Amino acid sequence: MTSAMDLPPIHSGKVRDIYEVDSDLLLMVTSDRISAFDVVMAEPIPDKGRVLTAMSTFWFGLLSDVVPGHLVATSPDEVDSHLNSLSAGLPPDRVGRTMLCRKAEMLPIECIVRGYITGSAWKEYTASGTMHGTTLPVGLLEASQLPEPVFTPSTKADEGHDINISFEQAVDLIGRDLAERSREVALECYLRGARWAAERGIIIADTKFEMGLVDGELVLADEVLTPDSSRFWPADTWAPGATPPSFDKQPVRDYLDGLDWDKQAPPPPLPDEVVAATSSRYIEAYERITGLSFGDWPGVAAYGAPT
């Protein structure tokens, strides 16, 4: 039997590898690779790919009444049932990190929603008092909660950084009807997710949604409300005026910031304790958000340990 990974590759990104199953379906495999400052580190983060897959699967289900998702299956049996017709089995090291998805015509914008001002939005505000070109109230502090969540789209860059754009610029790219529908869906998904997380002691400061069209219908795609696509802050450490530590690659960023490194490839090696601390943060975020044990997710040999 040939391997599922012998399927035609379509794309290999910093974290995900995508393969074509047939004219309608894709396999999205989430690796344990981690990047910082747009550079992929040499050391993988154990089970990071499974955490991102598990968390996205959870949110696809929770948000299905807001917008359909492109996810078809993540369970090994369901994925194999599709692949067996192609005589292509799922390798053991891909179990729990593979999503079978419908092909979508992806929108050329990132659907970003901000509930708190941080990151590039904070930099713009300190320089001009605006966020994506829109004037904000005077006197906001870093990490302040915005009066209400705001849809702030950006471009998708093949290389380098995405560029923040206004809503009207998004309209120019995808048309008014689709831009307004994307904004409506993104805001509702953020609000639903933020309320859910808040009840579990986590602030979702902002997030990036990917959306596309399947048979003309808008769908949620790629990863959803994960530590890689969102800023998760512990609620008990948040206060306006400083950005709290996040449930993601913060240990990696902190370590690299303390080095004399020019933020260009090749990256410096990561110590074992930084790798372990980062893995623990991802797992904790999943378990706090979902209330589930990560050890029960397919492919996890033991709690927090990769296969």
Element (H, E) at 131: strand 130-131
| Average confidence score pLDDT of the chain | 91
Q: For 109-147, what is each residue's pLDDT tens digit?
A: 999 999 999 988 999 999 999 998 889 999 999 999 999
> What is 2-104+283-296's CATH superfamily?
Phosphorylase Kinase; domain 1 (3.30.200.20)
Question: Is the distance from CB of 24 to CB of 90 less than 8 angstroms?
Answer: no
Of 109-113, 198-202, 207-211, 250-254, the least confident: 250-254
| pLDDT exceeds cutoff 50 at 2 | no
Residue 115 near residue 204, CB atoms below 8 Å: yes
Over residues 140-165, the pLDDT tens digits come to 999 999 999 999 999 987 665 788 89
What phi, psi does 289 have (nearest 5°)? Answer: -70, -45
* Parallel, antiparallel or unpaired: strands 88-89 and 2-3: parallel
pLDDT digits (tens, 9 = 90+) for 29-52: 999 999 988 899 999 999 999 999
pLDDT tens for 51-72 read: 999 999 999 999 999 999 999 9
Q: What is the pLDDT of residue 246?
A: 87
* 206 Cβ neighbours under 8 A, 6+ residues apart: 112, 113, 114, 115, 116, 118, 119, 121, 230, 231
* CA separation for the pair 277, 120 (Å, rounded): 26
pLDDT of residue 125: 95
**Predicted local distance difference test score (pLDDT) of residue 3:** 55
Percentage of the chain with pLDDT > 70? 93
**Greater pLDDT, 207 or 6:** 207
Task: Check whether 1 has a pLDDT greater than 50.
Answer: no
pLDDT at position 140, please? 95
Mean pLDDT of 239-258: 90
Per-residue tokens: 245:
């530590």
Per-residue pLDDT, 249? 87
Give ranges for CATH 3.30.200.20 in the chain: 2-104+283-296
CATH tag, 107-247: 3.30.470.20
**Range(s) for CATH 3.30.470.20 in the chain?**
107-247
| 224 has pLDDT over 70 | yes
Phi, psi of 303 (to 5 degrees): -55, 120
CA distance readout (Å), 151 to 131, 180, 209, 273: 10, 10, 11, 37
DSSP, residue by residue, 210-261: EEEEETTEEEEES--S-TTTEEEEEGGG-BTTBPPP-SSSHHHHHHHHTS--
Q: Write the single-letter amino acid at 206.
A: D
Checking if the pLDDT of 305 tops 50, the result is no
For residues 271 and 40, the answer to whether their CB atoms sit within 8 Å is: no
